[in-house]
Amino acid sequence: MKKRILTLLLSTLMGTATMFATTPQSEFVRVSGPDLIQPNGQKLYIQGTNLGNWLNPEGYMFGLSRTNSAWMIDLMIKQAVGPDFAAAFWKTFKDNYITRDDILFIKQQGANTIRLPFNYKLFTDEDYMGLTSQQDGFQRIDNVVAWCREAGLYLILDMHDCPGGQTGDNIDDGHGYPWLFESEQSQQLFCSIWQRIADRYKDEPVILGYELANEPIAHYFENKEDLNKQLEPLYKRAVKAIREVDPHHIILLGGARWNSDFYMFNDWTFDSQIMYTCHRYGGPATKEAIKDYIDFRDKTNLPMYMGEIGHNTNEWQAQFVKVMKEVNIGYTFWPYKKIDGSCMMGIQRPEQWDSIVVKYSETPRGTYQEWREARPNQQLFRQLLMQYAENSRFSNCQPQESYIQSLGLKQ
């Protein structure tokens, strides 16, 4: 009798273990010295693009300048045509801007990886892109994961906008200072969201890794050195939270000052699956221009990846691609799609976009009286917003052939 009970207990325990078993490490991209190794044993050299502006709107990709972060764009739309229409616009925008067709097109150009920037608010109850308690962050990422699986692409999840703001400029959708590093509440939320994301995708081999924070700590602040010292400890804290639920995925760590400085990092052995990520938009397209990145890569014996590069001439881009391939630094160009050119897919400006939407975005709107006096024709403003959303559909965008060629994806 005791033997039967013991056998039944062991059988139950084995069944439970099988039920909760995770995908083995061999199914994920992994770090091996300065290289990334795919599940088939072959080296992965990252080449691809960024889905910027989709889940982290930036003003310049709409042709705006003064109104340059997501909360400013949202406020502008609400002031012009009201919160309900703003919510309807954002839903249409998200539905149209990135679809299965976009992902398949990226693959067809020769890419193997996509970096997906997102705002942390997509996983909270904060008001963001027309939603509050029913945020759709997981739904949107799930869609991209499925499309990438179909296309045969890897996906990097990039928290571009962190709680409190990690940069101190418009790109973090914050309020002009990297409050993340001075707020325990924001740091707890930062780690909690990453743990939730990691728990959801812990068994998903399509995801190459998690990039914790985009371009932390800009150079504007007198106390930037004190802030820089807090970067590695916060990264370690977030990695620890992720590893409680996900032992496999690579974690990407960016340097301070636009992902350009790495001197504040002293410990690169605290986790076996970390790598570093840098950015570059100007300067000479030479090996010497990224010597600091190469030296840090060689010192740590860990992969270095150029998460953002671009917004330059096609000649500059093509030359820098050659340099990055020579020094074994993979890359994803920024961005995939925006208004006008300097991207893989250009969005056409609607007629009167500049004279109505851009003009209104530049008009001072600091008081309720200024709101009322500056408000344009609401019907026309609504039409222009929806025309922009329609123009952003893959079928209505224009491939920038010379730009795409400069990315060296098929070479």
d(CA 3, CA 253): 52
Tokens representing 186? 């924001």
Residue 207, SS3 per DSSP: strand
Pairing assessment for the beta strands 47-50 and 113-119 based on DSSP bridges: parallel
Predicted confidence at residue 157, as pLDDT, reads 99
> 3 pLDDT band (50/70/90 cuts)?
very low
Give the Å distances, CA to CA, from 150 to 103, 116, 144.
Answer: 9, 17, 10
Predicted confidence at residue 22, as pLDDT, reads 54
Q: What is the CA radius of gyration of the chain?
A: 22
Tens digit of pLDDT for each residue in 69-85?
999 999 999 999 999 99
Q: Which of 167, 90, 84, 156 is nearest to 122 (CA)?
A: 90
pTM: 0.94
Residue type present at position 189: L
Tens digit of pLDDT for each residue in 374-392?
999 999 999 999 999 999 9
Pairing assessment for the beta strands 345-347 and 398-399 based on DSSP bridges: antiparallel
Contacts of 268 (CB under 8 A, 6+ apart): 274, 300, 302
CB burial readout 312-336, b (16+ within 10 A) else e: beeebbbbbbebbeeeebbbbbbbb
Contacts of 195 (CB under 8 A, 6+ apart): 241, 242, 244, 245
Name the DSSP letter for residue 175: S
